């Protein structure tokens, strides 16, 4: 299956079975991926490369393949272990300067011209006269050194990091420095989405395991499709390559389901809901089916795990371990477990609670908590857990069971505890009047609205990581607008005028396109901020300033005064959406033009979302299409003033 180009540039890099993977081979693969935007071509290139790596990897645990996989998605470990790259521009510039004998000022100037620090590093490195050719880098060494850099903390950590990066850059040849720098920045920006990697990994293993067998193209194609489905499904239940890659190397795709199952301690990606604008829309969707309406609590999603050894862990929507933020919840949990429960995974919402008044408090009360090392004396607001699903119990995954059954098992094995633990309040009634009354009741009790869920049939299984039509959200406040708020990334800012000159006065926001891994600009937002908010925003965003828009921002006609590393996510409300000559959001999905938000209003910062969890281009297009009034669709967008 190798193309000629691939063979000469990658596969024949002089690396034999049992030998470590040369980093140069990975970089050559990255270059080929970067040169195309076609998803099938990207998949093919990556499959070929992973196949070669897998075939030449003689380690029974597939270490070489595992590290290659991690470097392809620029991660060092599973999400929940929390070790991340993302080194600031200044540290990187210092390291490039030191390792290439130039000064930071020159590097800065080059960056202004070039716009990509990776390319600046590569050019600086290649212009350098060196007496000895450095020893070629391998995937394993690069992985190890990146891990060391990410782990460096404490005293003098900046200087230590510069030292380590300097060392790594000095060993780079050809265009390796470009990708080392991009890895350190936190993103490769070659348009390689993680879902393509999962499929490529599956295809590579299927091809390896069927080599030499005389299969018809149809039979092979079926095997590839089946393999991809299996690996995707397993990964959404057990999102860790640390277990999946060795299992694939040992038993191929067909034994993967037996060997890799939902496991307490490894958070799975939560099931998500689709927005709706009206009760009638809910009824249309669920017509003739059994469904349930639950209170939509306004808190923070909490996936609570009890491991066989008695450990209790709480994970956020993003798979971050939050046990240190909620020591009180960890302490409360044992009181709600009935006898005989040895392990579980619970899906729930953690809500701020007023114990005296016995009422729910707004989410903001909890968001003020530190994220780590919370001590008993720091806790001013109590947390109440509302469980709405049970995904695993005593060694058995419940994902494939109907919601009605999961809910029964949940209630059989857990006890409500006053002011600490309860089940999400639910009503299984199905007339418009009853749903409307339940929606009003939920608001009166301090919730955001309702979650409406399929209760029986195959459509009511738990679908990890999917935004499913089998879960609908009905948010009272947003029924008037587009049905939901949007979570957008702050990618730029405009300086303020008058009294606001010390801070930014307005911001440029973007949505995320997971296919291209790019951020697409969507609107300028500048009204409704208090002085206090503007000041706090400046303090948080100023360190993220970049000299040029990063390569993964599709700028369009936006012209902010400063650009940011895409990191901070804000929840924003809009009156409606319109086509725009200026912004790039969802371009190509509805029309060649992008879409923009009209009259955007800031609601809150979403610390529980990363930039790549932002509202997607596809969701923006869906919001636009669902707008009731045709008149809104013709607008010219909120062009930059």
Q: How far is the CB of 275 from ligand ATP (least distance, A)?
A: 7
Segment contacting ligand ATP by CB under 6 A, of 46-54, 205-213, 290-298, 456-464: 290-298
How far is 315 from 319, CA to CA, in rounded Å?
5
**Looking at beta carbons only, is 349 or 552 nearer to ligand ATP?**
349
Neighbours of 394 (CB within 10 A): 12
Distance of CA 523 to the CA centre of its chain: 22
Tokens read off for 522: 């969507």
Shortest distance, position 311 Cβ to ligand ATP, whole Å: 23
When asked if residue 294 is in the footprint of ligand ATP (CB under 6 A), the reply is yes
- Closer Cβ to ligand ATP, 63 or 470, answer by number: 470
Per CB under 6 A, the segment of 64-72, 193-201, 289-297, 362-370 that binds ligand ATP is 289-297
Is residue 448 classed as helix, strand or coil in its secondary structure? coil
The residue from 70, 80, 297, 623 that contacts ligand ATP (CB under 6 A) is 297
Binding-site residue total for ligand ATP (CB under 6 A)? 14
Instruction: Kindly report the number of other CB atoms within 10 A of residue 51's CB atom.
Output: 23
Residues in region 405-424 near ligand ATP by CB under 6 A: 424
Closest residue by Cα to residue 583 from 513, 478, 517? 513
Cβ proximity to ligand ATP, 43 vs 488, nearer residue: 488
Cα–Cα nearest to 311, from 287, 330, 338, 291? 330
Site mask, ligand ATP, residues 333-352, x = CB under 6 A? ----------------x---
User: Cα separation of 487 and 626, whole Å?
Assistant: 18
**Under rule CB under 6 A, which residues in 367-396 are in contact with ligand ATP?**
388
Please tell me whether residue 301 binds ligand ATP under the rule CB under 6 A: yes
Residue nearest to ligand ATP (CB): 301
DSSP letter assigned to residue 337: B
531 contacts: CB under 8 Å, gap ≥ 6:
499, 500
Beta bridge partners of 546: 563
Measured from the CB of residue 451, what is the shortest distance to ligand ATP in angstroms?
4
Interface residue with ligand ATP, options 104, 123, 272, 443 (CB under 6 A): 272
Q: How far is the CB of 474 from ligand ATP (least distance, A)?
A: 10
Measured from the CB atom, the residue of 271 and 558 that comes closer to ligand ATP is 271
What pairing do the DSSP bridges indicate for beta strands 382-393 and 272-275?
A: unpaired
Q: Smallest gap, in angstroms, from Cβ of residue 605 to ligand ATP?
A: 12
CA torsion angle 490 505 532 611 (round to 10): 0
Task: Kindly state whether residue 182 participates in binding ligand ATP, applying the rule CB under 6 A.
Answer: no
Nearest-approach distance from CB 485 to ligand ATP, in angstroms: 7
List the one residue from 11, 279, 399, 451 that touches ligand ATP (CB under 6 A).
Answer: 451
Site for ligand ATP in 518-547 (CB under 6 A): none
Interface residue with ligand ATP, options 473, 550, 587, 593 (CB under 6 A): 473
We find the least distance from the C-beta atom of residue 430 to ligand ATP, in angstroms, to be: 17
Q: Which of residues 546-585 bind ligand ATP (CB under 6 A)?
A: none
CB-side exposure of 508: number of CA atoms within 13 Å? Answer: 31
Phi, psi angles (nearest 5°) of residue 275:
-75, 155
Per the CB < 8 A criterion, the answer to whether 361 and 297 are in contact is no
**Through-space distance between the first and last CA atoms of the chain, rounded to whole angstroms:** 53
Catalytic residues: 296
Give the Cα separation of 265 and 112 in Å (integer).
Answer: 45
Q: Which residue has the tokens 């708020």?
A: 485
Give the CA distances from residue 378 to residues 177, 328, 434, in Å, rounded to whole numbers and listed in that order.
45, 11, 42
Tell me which stretch binds ligand ATP (CB under 6 A): 291-299, 413-421, 491-499, 505-513.
291-299
Buried b (16+ CB within 10 A) or exposed e, 282-304: bbebbeeeebbbbbbbbbbbbbb
Q: Which of residues 582-601 bind ligand ATP (CB under 6 A)?
A: none
Name the residue nearer to ligand ATP (CB basis): 274 or 289: 274
Tell the smallest beta-carbon distance from residue 141 to ligand ATP (Å). 38
CA atoms within 13 A on the CB side of 610: 13
Q: Which of 21, 273, 282, 403 touches ligand ATP (CB under 6 A)?
A: 273
Q: Among all chains, which residue has been given the structure tokens 């200044």?
A: 90
264 in Cβ contact with 346 (< 8 Å) = no
Interface positions with ligand ATP (CB under 6 A): 272-273, 294-297, 301, 317, 349, 388, 424, 451, 473, 487
């Amino acid at each position: 299956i190798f193309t000629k180009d691939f063979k000469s540039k990658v596969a024949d890099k002089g690396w034999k079975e049992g030998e470590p993977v040369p980093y140069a081979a990975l970089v050559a693969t990255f270059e080929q991926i970067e040169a195309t935007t076609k998803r099938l071509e990207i998949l093919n290139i990556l499959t070929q490369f992973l196949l070669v790596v897998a075939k030449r990897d003689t380690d029974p645990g597939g270490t070489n393949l595992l590290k290659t996989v991690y470097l392809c998605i620029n991660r060092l470990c599973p999400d929940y272990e929390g070790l991340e790259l993302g080194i600031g521009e200044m540290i990187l510039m210092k390291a490039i300067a030191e390792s290439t004998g130039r000064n930071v000022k020159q590097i800065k100037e080059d960056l202004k011209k070039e716009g990509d620090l990776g390319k600046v590093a590569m050019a600086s490195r290649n212009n350098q006269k060196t007496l000895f050719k450095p020893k070629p880098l391998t995937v394993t060494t690069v992985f190890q050194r990146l891990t060391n850099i990410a782990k460096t903390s404490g005293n003098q950590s900046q200087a230590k990091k510069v030292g380590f990066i300097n060392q790594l850059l000095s060993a780079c040849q050809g265009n390796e420095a470009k990708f080392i720098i991009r890895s350190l920045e936190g993103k490769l920006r070659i348009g390689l989405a993680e879902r393509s990697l999962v499929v490529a990994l599956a295809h590579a293993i299927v091809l390896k395991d069927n080599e030499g067998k005389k299969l018809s193209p149809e039979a092979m194609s079926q095997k590839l499709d089946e393999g991809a489905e299996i690996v995707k499904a397993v990964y959404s239940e057990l999102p860790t390559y640390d277990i999946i890659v060795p299992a694939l190397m040992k038993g191929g795709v067909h034994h993967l389901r037996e060997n890799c199952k939902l496991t307490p301690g490894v958070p799975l990606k939560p099931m998500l809901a689709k927005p709706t604008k009206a009760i009638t829309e809910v009824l249309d969707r669920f017509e003739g089916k059994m469904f349930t309406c639950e209170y939509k609590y306004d808190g923070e999603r909490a996936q609570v795990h009890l491991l066989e050894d008695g450990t209790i862990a709480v994970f956020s929507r993003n798979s971050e371990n939050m046990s240190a933020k909620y020591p009180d919840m960890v302490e409360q949990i044992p009181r709600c477990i009935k006898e005989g429960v040895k392990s579980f995974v619970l899906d729930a919402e953690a809500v701020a609670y007023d114990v005296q008044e016995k009422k729910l408090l707004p989410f903001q009360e909890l968001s003020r908590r530190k994220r780590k090392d919370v001590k008993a004396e720091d806790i001013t607001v109590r947390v109440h857990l509302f469980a709405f699903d049970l995904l695993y119990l005593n060694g058995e995954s419940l994902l494939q069971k109907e919601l009605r059954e999961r809910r029964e098992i949940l209630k059989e094995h857990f006890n409500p505890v006053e002011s600490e633990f309860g089940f999400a309040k639910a009503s299984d009634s199905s007339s418009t009047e009853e749903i409307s009354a339940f929606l009003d009741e939920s608001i009166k009790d301090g919730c955001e609205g309702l979650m409406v869920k399929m209760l029986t049939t195959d459509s009511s299984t738990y679908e990890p990581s999917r935004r499913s039509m089998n879960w609908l959200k009905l948010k009272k406040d947003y029924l008037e607008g587009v049905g939901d708020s949007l979570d957008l990334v702050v990618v730029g800012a405009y300086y303020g005028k008058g009294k606001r000159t010390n801070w930014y006065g307005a911001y440029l926001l973007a949505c995320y396109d997971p296919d291209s891994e790019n951020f697409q600009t969507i609107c300028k937002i500048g009204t409704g901020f208090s002085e206090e908010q503007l000041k706090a925003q400046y303090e948080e965003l100023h360190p993220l300033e970049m000299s040029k828009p990063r390569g993964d921002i599709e700028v369009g006609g936006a012209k902010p005064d400063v650009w940011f590393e895409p990191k901070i996510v804000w929840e924003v409300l809009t009156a409606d959406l319109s086509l725009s000559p200026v912004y790039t959001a969802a371009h190509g999905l509805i029309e060649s033009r992008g879409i923009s938000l009209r009259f955007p209003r800031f609601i809150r910062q979403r610390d529980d979302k990363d930039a790549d969890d932002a509202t997607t281009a596809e969701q923006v297009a869906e919001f636009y299409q669902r707008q009731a009034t045709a008149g809104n669709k013709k607008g010219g967008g909120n062009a930059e003033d």
